[in-house]
């Protein structure tokens, strides 16, 4: 069973955007399908780095998470440009 953790930054971004329901639904789908590569493309899960992934809630909004052994840590959410800025800052 995979558990989920949400960073303070992630919670604040989602709350300020008013997308709580949309994000919770997407996180549930990711938890149900993560680790099953055939479902990843249908869930729009894409690998970005060693343990870093993104998924989409819709065409414009993405969730960034890190996958550890049994925990998915959601750390950032935003549109394409915001995600690119976040990823540049992680390097």
**What would the pLDDT profile of 8-46 be if each residue is shown by its tens digit?**
999 999 999 999 999 999 999 898 888 776 654 567 888
Degrees, nearest 5: CA angle 47-56-78: 100
Q: How far apart are CA 53 and CA 46, in angstroms?
A: 6
Enter the tokens of residue 6: 């949400």
Chain centroid to CA 44 = 10
| Mean pLDDT across the chain | 89
Please report, for the chain, the start and end positions of each structural domain, with discontinuous segments joined by +.
Answer: 3-90
- Residue of 87, 42, 83, 89 lying closest to 62 (CA atoms): 83
CATH of 3-90, one of 3.40.50.620, 2.60.260.40, 3.30.2310.20, 3.30.565.10: 3.30.2310.20
40 Cβ contact list (under 8 Å, min separation 6):
33, 34, 46
pTM of the model: 0.89
User: Worst-scoring range by mean pLDDT, 20-24, 40-44, 59-63, 68-72?
Assistant: 40-44
Q: Give the pLDDT confidence score for residue 18 in this predicted structure.
A: 95
Among all chains, which residue has been given the structure tokens 């992934």? 53
User: What is the longest distance spanned by two Cα atoms in the chain?
Assistant: 33
Q: Give the pLDDT confidence score for residue 91 in this predicted structure.
A: 65
Q: Give the pLDDT confidence score for residue 41 in this predicted structure.
A: 57
């Amino acid at each position: 069973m995979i558990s989920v953790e949400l960073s303070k930054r992630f919670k604040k971004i989602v709350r300020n955007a008013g997308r709580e329901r949309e994000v919770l639904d997407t996180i549930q789908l990711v938890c149900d399908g993560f680790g099953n590569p055939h479902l990843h493309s249908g869930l729009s899960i894409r690998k970005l780095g060693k343990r870093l992934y993104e998924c989409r809630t819709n065409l414009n909004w993405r969730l960034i998470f890190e996958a550890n052994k049994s925990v998915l840590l959601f750390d950032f959410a935003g549109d394409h440009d915001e995600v690119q800025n976040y990823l540049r800052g992680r390097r």
